[in-house]
Amino acid sequence: MSDEFSVESVYAELLGRAPENKMEPRLAPLFRAMEVLGEPNKACPIIHITGTNGKTSTARMIEQGLIAHGLSTGRYTSPHLSKVTERISINGEPVSDETFVRIWDEIRPYLAIVDAELEADDQPRLTYFECLTILGYAVFADQPVDVAVIEVGLGGITDATNVGDGAVSVVTPISLDHTDLLGDTTGEIAVEKAGIIKPGGFLVSAVQPRDAAQVLLEKAQEVGVPFRFEGVEFGVESRAVAVGGQMLDIQGLAGRYDEVFLPLHGAHQAENAAVAVAALEAFFGGGERELDPEVLREAFLNVTSPGRLEVVRTAPTIIVDAAHNPDGIRASAESIQEAFNFSKLVVVLGVLQEKDAAEILNQLKESLGDLAEEICLTQSTSPRAIPAGELAELAVDLGWGEENVHISEKLDDAIEWAVARSEANDDLSGGVLITGSITVVAEARILLQAKGA
């Protein structure tokens, strides 16, 4: 049996549990699992990351900073784009198939103990996300790594990752998303996300809405940890568009870092970079010791963020971007207009049912304006995908001209149509943006790579 097949077998077993969007608001079973496994959640220091947008990109920047300083790293992020092993990375690369399968086989009997206890108490057994989180902690303890960068799945207080205590707690920008689960205001959502701030840690926060910032500040004061906020103690001093990315001057907590090249586009990624720098300073020296600027520059040269304003084809240029909420769409639209000189942009959009499709469509129309008159509504293979026809009806109701709205239930047909429209009239400066849910972006990357794009 090949490793590839074994990974797929484990993945199928995980998918047989409660799905990822059915996360249980509980931590007791996770602590019980940690107990029977010998507390892998305490095997190394943790940098814990929550927020609404930018978590994965920030995690990848922090990871590269740690690696450049000679540390071995584990990174746990979600969801994955192509293969489940992407969620558990060792030194910047997906965990090997062999390790993924071996550790799962080792912990499976212990998880069966927890499952049995839950079922005896009339509770659901461990979910897909809970099991993957436990697996991640177990892999990091097995390697072992020097430090783990852990991204929250949803919220913070009762998120499965919160069995770990962050030496540094990082909060990326908070906006309205998952309001049915986390709250109707950014302040209410911040209460959930503040759950990762623990005694003995250090809070590093991006710029936040006033109510969210107040919640984070009060939580940090309550548990007695230092706190630093972007725009007050650190931030981006200047940025300039450069070929393949941008050049940044960053004021950190302890030092200033000039001419740092970041191979990612957009003001939001520059802000993520500033947060990552502050988190590294907090981790290495409590925010009081400057990083080596050359080491930092080297680290950021190696940063990638697949599926985030990623160019996957040229002639015409095709960009995939997992902007799954209105704020993400706005940031992406601004970045595209700054970094690319498109005369026309054809949009391919697919949205999951739990997202605010109307506001996503409104934000696309408002942010891109005349640049993107034509849109193709599609859907991923996820059972949670909004049917393409429903999205199209919504788009027309919201003012997208019916003559400019196309429906393709199959993503490959949607991409083919968008490319043809982009190339119409021999316009060499046209482009295609594939955006919305991470599932659409993931499937688009696979389709385009399979075609040698």
Looking at the structure, tell me whether residues 169 and 59 fall in a common domain. yes
What is the CATH number for 327? 3.90.190.20
Q: Where among 280, 301, 322 does a domain terminate?
A: 301
pLDDT at 430: 87
Looking at the structure, tell me whether residues 163 and 185 fall in a common domain. yes
What is the CATH number for 113? 3.40.1190.10
| Residue 407 phi, psi (nearest 5) | -120, 125
Cα distance between residue 29 and residue 27, in whole Å: 6
Q: What is the DSSP string of 166-218?
A: -SEEEE----S-SHHHH-SSHHHHHHHHGGG--TT--EEE----HHHHHHHHH
Cα distance between residue 107 and residue 142, in whole Å: 11
pTM for the whole thing? 0.92
Residue 2 has pLDDT above 50, yes or no: no
Q: Where among 245, 280, 301 does a domain terminate?
A: 301
Looking at the structure, tell me whether residues 241 and 358 fall in a common domain. no
Looking at the structure, tell me whether residues 246 and 376 fall in a common domain. no
- Exposure of 248 in the CB half-sphere (CA atoms within 13 A): 31
What token pair was written down for 67?
């690696």
- Percent above pLDDT 70 for the chain: 94
| Structural domain count of the chain | 2
Looking at the structure, tell me whether residues 95 and 185 fall in a common domain. yes
> Which residue in this structure is represented by tokens 């586009």?
265
Looking at the structure, tell me whether residues 246 and 171 fall in a common domain. yes
Q: What is the DSSP string of 81-112?
A: SS-GGGGEEETTEEPPHHHHHHHHHHHHHHHH
pLDDT at 429: 82
Looking at the structure, tell me whether residues 43 and 153 fall in a common domain. yes
pLDDT at 29: 97
Q: Where among 250, 280, 301 does a domain terminate?
A: 301
DSSP secondary-structure letter at 380? -
Looking at the structure, tell me whether residues 366 and 385 fall in a common domain. yes
Lowest mean pLDDT: which of 225-229, 428-432, 439-443?
428-432
Range of the domain at 439: 310-450
| Residue 123 phi, psi (nearest 5) | -110, 155
pLDDT at 425: 66
